Amino acid sequence: MARSVVLGYHRPRICRKCRSFRIHCPRVWTSASQNAPPLSRARRGWPNRTQNKPPPCFEHRCVHAGNQRRLGFPPSSAPTPGSLPAGGREPGDSAYLVVGSCCHGEPMMGRGVAWECGLGLGLGIVIGWLGYRRGLLSLSGTVGLAFTSLLGFSAGGWVWGSLFWVVLVSSGLWLRFRRSHKDALLDGTSETVARDWLRIVAGTGWASALALLHLLAPGVAGMFAAFLGALAPPNADIWAPARGMRSPRAPRLVITRRRVAAGTPGAISTLGTVASLAGAWLVGFMALLFVMIQAQSRDMVWDRALVWLPVAATAGGMAGSLVDSFLGATAQGIYYCEGCKTETDQRVHSCGEVARQVRGWAWLTNDGIDLVSSIVGAAVAAGSLSWLAETRMWW
């Protein structure tokens, strides 16, 4: 029976034990693939090192093999199908962990749903209120932040929800860093305005949508990589100007390479690009760290393809950041204030005068570009993890 590949994993067709379709399991032993080596090794003609079959899945009573690293009991002590009561796992049993799910992709939330939802809502309210007091958030932005935090923790668990806060906290710290100096350089742009609910949705809306889709297809590593790729561009977009404006050289437009003033939409610098790279990498590194902590705390197995999460998140973040700069230089609506003799991306300048549009599309704002960059970053991150897991999983 042929095996299809989805996001670097083998999609099983029929479960060997219960003879039913299992569409979420990374790999299932069937009559046609029982003796077949892993796909990545078979393509290279290498011998199969798999000697022992993995332990049975306690929830579905089927035997699995594949891209997981065992952190639980040894093969000699693995129970056999039917050795546990029909109710499922007993406390302390080992299981597979694929981004917060069991091996068939069913969410392993259990009793943790209530406290995770409470934690997400509490963090959203407290940190949102602090941001409102500091002038970083408007009142609507505070409400939007609390709702986003609640959605992330309730849909994906503490691992997914914590990554929202990695982006929000790191971005907030960079926004506070030398704020008076940056406000002087970015006078009249959207970066100096308190973030409302629309800015929050533009930066985290696509990631929130992927967290909801995760409920329909839990356990899929590609979905988790896409989630990271949606969060990496907004984080990189904040880190880049925060460090790039301290560059001794003026930035250049990404299209014409002409030197322009710091803060001009579509301008990039070497220091800002390095900061953007670091901001995207941080998202992937923290995701891998959280997955390992969850696996160790629950005595479960985590998919070894997830070691490429930092690389996939960095690729998605840089792709989204470049798309952001390209659209900012070519398509974003840019206005000119006659009174202050300066360009801005706001229709009404900070001085109160209505600015005149000089280029770009009026409907394409900075928020729209952030949303587009998140979508591009999610696609690139998911594709990167799929390719790396399929071609670079040599161990």
CB 344 within 8 A of CB 337: yes
Q: Are residues 364 and 276 in the same domain?
A: yes
3-state DSSP call for residue 116?
helix
Same domain, 384 and 253: yes
Report yes or no on 167 lying in a domain: yes
Answer yes or no: is 106 within a domain: no
Q: Is residue 75 part of a domain?
A: yes
pLDDT tens-digit profile, the chain (395 residues): 444 333 434 444 455 555 544 444 444 444 444 444 444 555 545 555 544 444 444 333 333 333 333 333 233 333 343 343 333 333 333 333 444 443 333 333 333 478 888 888 999 999 889 888 888 788 888 998 899 999 889 888 888 999 999 998 888 788 776 555 555 455 545 455 567 888 888 888 899 999 988 888 766 778 899 999 999 999 998 888 877 777 778 788 888 888 877 777 778 888 888 989 999 999 999 999 998 888 888 777 777 778 899 999 999 999 999 999 899 888 888 888 888 777 788 888 777 788 888 888 888 888 899 999 999 999 999 999 988 887 765 44
- How far is residue 158's CA from residue 116's CA, in Å, rounded to a whole number? 6
Q: 61 with 195, same domain? A: no
Instruction: List, in sequence order, every residue forming a beta bridge with 274; answer none if it has no partner.
Output: none
Give the pLDDT confidence score for residue 222 in this predicted structure: 84
The sign of the CA dihedral 209, 210, 211, 217 is: positive
What pLDDT was estimated at residue 9? Answer: 41
Q: How many domains does the chain have?
A: 2
User: What pLDDT is recorded for position 40?
Assistant: 52
Do 88 and 160 have their domain in common?
no
Q: What is the DSSP string of 213-267?
A: HTTTSTT-HHHHHHHHHHHHHHHHHHHHHHHHTT-SS--EETTT--B--TT-TTE
372: CB partners within 8 A, 6+ apart:
323, 324, 327
pLDDT of residue 78: 38
> Is residue 127 a part of any domain in this protein?
yes
Closest CA to 228 of 381, 352, 366: 381
| Residue 152 shares a structural domain with residue 196 | yes
**Domain check: are 140 and 265 in the same one?**
yes
Residue 105 lies in a domain: no
Short-list 282, 290, 291, CA closest to 313? 282
CA distance 273 to 268: 7
Q: Which 8-state DSSP code applies to residue 36?
A: P
| Same domain assignment for residues 53 and 132 | no
CA atoms within 13 A on the CB side of 87: 4
In this structure, the answer to whether residues 137 and 89 fall within a common structural domain is no
Same domain? 192 vs 232: yes
DSSP-based helix, strand, coil % in the chain, nearest 5: 50, 10, 40
Q: Are residues 119 and 88 in the same domain?
A: no
Query: Cα separation of 127 and 146, whole Å?
Result: 8
User: Nearest 5°: phi and psi at 268?
Assistant: -130, 155
Non-local CB neighbours of 244 within 8 Å, separated by 6+ positions = 251, 262, 268, 269, 271, 272, 273, 275
CA of residue 342 relative to chain centroid, distance: 36
Asked whether residue 199 is domain-assigned, the answer is yes
Q: What is the CA radius of gyration of the chain?
A: 24
Residue 98 counted as domain residue: no
In this structure, the answer to whether residues 129 and 84 fall within a common structural domain is no
Residue ranges making up the domain that contains 238? 112-391
Same domain, 82 and 117: no
SS3 119: helix
In a domain, 275, yes or no: yes
Question: For residue 320, which amino acid is it?
Answer: G
